[in-house]
Structure 1
Amino acid sequence: MSDTESTAPRRTPLYDLHVELGGKMVDFAGWEMPVQYSAGIMAEHAQCREKAGVFDVSHMGQVELRGEGAARKLESIVPASIEPLAEGKARYTFFTNPEGGIMDDLIVSNAGDHLFLVVNASMRDQDIGHMRANLDGVDIVELTDRALVAVQGPKAVEVVGALCPDAIEMKFMETIVADIMGASCRISRLGYTGEDGYEISIPDEHAVSITRAFLAHDDCDVAGLGARDSLRLEAGLCLYGNDIDNDTSPIEAQLNWAIQKRRREEGGFPGADRILRELADGPSRKLVGIKPQGRAPARQGVEIQDTDGNTLGHITSGGFGPTVQGPVSMGYVAVNHANVGEVVNLIVRGKALPAEIIALPFVQQNYKR
């Protein structure tokens, strides 16, 4: 195999469909993915907020953990409570390192006789290797023959429910296996947009026909990675590599809610010393919402200063919020400057632009509770 072939981006089962539908394909985490379609990011964003958008997220890693005590063993490398997770329920968590930083975030579901995990595309090899090195006696199976499609938005229940009535009564963070057009699919009611919706694991050979059937619904259209990013930013959801990373603790990132009471009391996960200390005493910095005044967006890396010119931190994610109709950002600031309403300056191309610390999320989350 030549170097060119070995480093060529991979393609999901929906690649040809994206091209047919006018997707602008880019290399994302080693995969050829649609960043947008002809309607553009603003229209795709609005489609998801108002009706329903379909996203190809097949580049994400899908993994099964099988074997005696898999949930208990997984708790040795994540700070979430996995053992008591009821069958058919999903939970957000993260792998932590010995220093209390976040190696990656993921969704864990109790699928009955096994656990089903979805990990980030850019970290799938690291995460699978990490589990194989640390989960003795657990069979770790990467699913390489299944697409993953997200249907997101207030009309998602109608779009998915028209093909799978079993999906209609599901609640947020629930998962089932059900038939869609003759294919056995794992359907989870969750997503990364702040809207109601589903992520659906589909056998490769059925991915195109089922996706076409979703798109045939009057309230449904395609959306790309650009809209997925603007949607998650408005919803105040962290992006791995931007807002959370190996140096960021869950407490700094305001993810305290993802560490259940038993794990806070018992510890027993990597980095517990730092994480439990920060839970008790507070971190030195924290992730906040930042609303720039004016129209200029402040993107990752922009310095945040107080009004006296002292550095407080940096922007980790930023851009234009189509629903908010203005620029939105997230970033870390010293905890004594993290109060809602505090005025800060953002240093954009050498100029100090005023901004305000605001409560996250920028747009209300609309999950099916």
Structure 2
Amino acid sequence: MLCSSVKLRACTLPRRVRVPTGNHFVRSIASLKKTPLYPLHVARGAKIVPFAGFEMPLQYKGMSVGDSHRWTRQHAGLFDVSHMVQWFVRGENATAFLESITPSSLQELKPMHSTLSVFTNETGGIVDDTIISKHDDKTYYIVTNAACADKDTENLSKNLNKWTKGGVTIDRIEGRALIALQGPEAVAALAKLAVTFDFPSLKFGKSAYIDVLGANCLVSRSGYTGEDGVEMSVPADDSMKIAETLLADSRVQPIGLGARDSLRLEAGMCLYGNDIDDTTSPVEGSLSWVIGKRRRSEGNFVGSSRILKELMGGPSRRRVGFLVQGAPAREGSAVEVDGVNVGRVTSGCPSPSLGKNIAMGYVRTGLHKVGTRVHINVRNKLRPAEVVKMPFVQTHYHK
């Protein structure tokens, strides 16, 4: 079907196919949605908080955020990420369309492989960060942030409406839950539920359709913690059974938003709305690696003028990591050198793995080098800090 309509359809995957913090907390409890796993959260005594328009678990009874964090690093944590938005982009011109709104080299991406990417705007800022999985040259599966759902829909609609070559349809996937299983014992726990699949062959960044307890699941070896693990798109009707069966394994515990945030920060990963936003370019955000070599020479994507200029001459600021002495720096804390404001913190917390205070944020170019000494204003007291390399802890991806 050739289509360049602005209408974004809702769809489900046919079963026969083999194939916390910051701006994201919603202040009002009105009209909050529930994920398919909401009954599980309540049954396990979760502290429920509003997040990106959903009622989501912050932490679970009997486990602190620190306990949950360390459990995931040592064993396996089950995260409900069903609030994220799942899409299919299809058609004979799907690759060309996506390359027009992202800087990634999707032509070169192999089937059933994925890449982190960003949607860019006309000024070179980041509309949203996203995972793009290529199923074949005409089919892409995309996951975007829940807090950006309306903005992403508008952005995709706008760009599809301007697309003159046809051959593209965009479907928002409904009726699916999204479960992340993360940690060194995560894949072993999942393998008990899908005994016929060869999990060692599923390397980081690859995906496959796998039968899990009779349900057709799209399983991607990826995650938001820096640990080995998977993210699974599962039929909503099967999600409770799959989650509860996984949690019956002594190696698996449910983990909420609190530990998810500290885990991703230790892994040096951005939270959209805090660490990157509409004004941040991929170069400023230390995401230049998502810009493909061919794309740098072609420059035929939205916002390329600013982005290519910054690639050549450097941006005015850069995202960096900090180790902070004394007290943890939080979002918005000013970064100073000799009494002059040179940047700000965008995320920060005590690191359960390191026993130190970590943060990320932006500083002027020239002050971004590892070892640079700064001070961070924490509750009107200057705390010594040092620019350090990210990730803060070693990653353990299955490559």
When the two structures are superposed, what TM-score results if normalisation uses the length of structure 2? 0.89
- Structure 2 residue ranges without an equivalent (≥5): 1-27
1:299 matched to 2:330? The reply is yes
CA–CA distance in structure 1, aligned partners of residues 53 and 174 of structure 2: 15
Give how far 1:86 is off: 1.3
Give how far 1:133 is off: 2.2
- Give the aligned partner of residue 133 of structure 1: 158
1:244 matched to 2:280? The reply is no
Report matched runs for 1:85-234 at 5 Å: 85-112=109-136, 113-135=138-160, 136=163, 137=166, 138-165=168-195, 166=197, 167-234=199-266
For structure 1, which segment, 334-343 or 316-325, has the greater mean C-alpha deviation from structure 2 after superposition?
A: 334-343
CA–CA distance in structure 2, aligned partners of residues 326 and 8 of structure 1: 39
Report matched runs for 1:1-150 at 5 Å: 7-38=30-61, 39-112=63-136, 113-135=138-160, 136=163, 137=166, 138-150=168-180
Instruction: Please point out which of 252, 267, 272 is paired with 1:235.
Output: 267
- Give the aligned partner of residue 335 of structure 1: 365
Give how far 1:69 is off: 1.1
CA–CA distance in structure 1, aligned partners of residues 275 and 29 of structure 2: 30
Give how far 1:121 is off: 0.6
Residue pair 2:29, 2:50 contacting (<8 A) in 1 also:
no
Paired positions, count: 363
CA–CA distance in structure 2, aligned partners of residues 66 and 357 of structure 1: 43
When the two structures are superposed, what TM-score results if normalisation uses the length of structure 1? 0.96
1:298 partner amino acid: A
Residue pair 1:104, 1:120 contacting (<8 A) in 2 also:
yes
Give how far 1:6 is off: 10
CA–CA distance in structure 2, aligned partners of residues 333 and 241 of structure 1: 18
Change in Cα spacing, 1:6 to 1:66, as seen in structure 2 (3 Å) is farther
SS in 2 for 1:251: coil
CA–CA distance in structure 2, aligned partners of residues 189 and 97 of structure 1: 29
**Percentage of matched positions with identical amino acids:** 47
SS in 2 for 1:275: helix
Residue pair 1:157, 1:168 contacting (<8 A) in 2 also:
no
Give how far 1:168 is off: 3.8
Residue pair 2:194, 2:211 contacting (<8 A) in 1 also:
yes
SS in 2 for 1:75: helix
Give how far 1:261 is off: 0.4
Give how far 1:29 is off: 0.5
CA–CA distance in structure 1, aligned partners of residues 172 and 30 of structure 2: 20
- Give the aligned partner of residue 253 of structure 1: 285
For structure 1, which segment, 109-118 or 139-148, has the greater mean C-alpha deviation from structure 2 after superposition?
A: 109-118
- Deviation string 1:203-243 (CA, Å, 9 cap, x unpaired) is 01000000011111121111001100000000000110011
